[in-house]
Amino acid sequence: MANQRDIKRRIGIVANTQKITKAMKLVAAAKFAKASYAVTSSRPYSESFNAMVLNLVASSSTEIKSPLVKSSSSDQAEGKKSLLVLLSTDRGLCGGLNSNLFKHVQSWMNEQNQQMDIYAWGRKANSWASKRNNSVVDRKEKLLDQPSYASAKVLVDQIIEVYKSGEYDSVYLAYNKFINALTQTPQVTPMLPLSMGDLGEGGSDGKTDYIVEPSFADMIDTLIMRRLYMMLFQAMLEGTASEHGSRMTAMDSATSNADEVRKKLTLQYNRARQAAITTELTEIISGAEAL
């Protein structure tokens, strides 16, 4: 059994760790309140705008000639490859948030029988992707610190420029979808091209009658680009809320576990102290009887 000094030192270490985890929980809770409000407030607009664009494309009576749209009959060209935009956190201590995302992405990549490059956006994504056989062609950090529509626009413009160059046949976005503080769901969503065969996902029946000015052909690329801006911005908001919610939950669990460990060590310390006192009394009594 460890002596009293060692046990007391361990109790102090656990108590200090508990203070740190409790402070991190409070900080995460404050950030989570703001992030969860932002993501739930923007979600109705994001979903409505996405459905509107899909309905508009589906209701078009003319053939859409845009590099950002492909018909349901189009096949992937031979020798092409896909681009995966992987959005993760920069910091750890947020439970299994990143590991669950990477497991889901790896399972999805195994199902895709094609070459794939990765945009590793987030320090954890960069660390994970660097260990894979896939080529990491872009690295960025601190995207989830302060998500903004302006930064999402810059990033999407970069993606569109690379896609239009013809280097990639398709682009996908992987991120954590926020459900609540306890639940975050990994998602892999197609970004480019807009597939005519997937328009039903937006709730479109193709019967909505729209009046488009100046013309549908002039507006389609702009609408699709704005849809992509909102898609990435929403994913950034989802990732931020997921990070703070997961960290808050993880730190709350760590604080509770530290309290349990501290109680067990305190009990162990009291037993060791009691055993030491009993030994001393026994020695005193034995010495007195010897006299």
Q: Return the CATH number at 197.
A: 3.40.1380.10
Domain residues for the domain of 268 are 4-23+250-290
Residue matched to tokens 């009658």: 209
From the list 94, 118, 125, 159, the catalytic residue is 94
Domain count along the chain: 2
Please report, to the nearest 10 degrees, the dihedral formed by the alpha carbons of residues 173, 178, 184, 189 taken in order.
-20
Same domain, 113 and 65: yes
Judged against a pLDDT cut of 60, whether residue 264 lies above it is answered with yes
Same domain, 65 and 18: no
Same domain, 190 and 51: yes
* Mean per-residue pLDDT over the chain, rounded: 86
For 175, the enclosing helix (H) or strand (E) is strand 168-178
Tokens representing 198 are 């997937």
pLDDT classification of 60: cutoffs 50, 70, 90 = low
Tokens representing 144 are 């989830």
pLDDT in tens, 187-204: 999 999 887 555 544 444
Pairing relation of β-strands 69-70 and 168-178?
unpaired
190 counts as catalytic: no
3-state secondary structure 252-289: HHHHHHHHHHHHHHHHHHHHHHHHHHHHHHHHHHHHHH
Classify residue 28: in a domain, yes or no.
no
pLDDT in tens, 15-49: 999 999 999 999 999 999 999 999 999 999 999 98
Report the CATH number at residue 263. Answer: 1.10.287.80
pLDDT in the model for residue 204? 47
Judged against a pLDDT cut of 60, whether residue 127 lies above it is answered with yes
Classify residue 85: in a domain, yes or no.
yes
Cβ-proximal residues to 5 (8 Å cutoff; 6+ apart), any chain? none
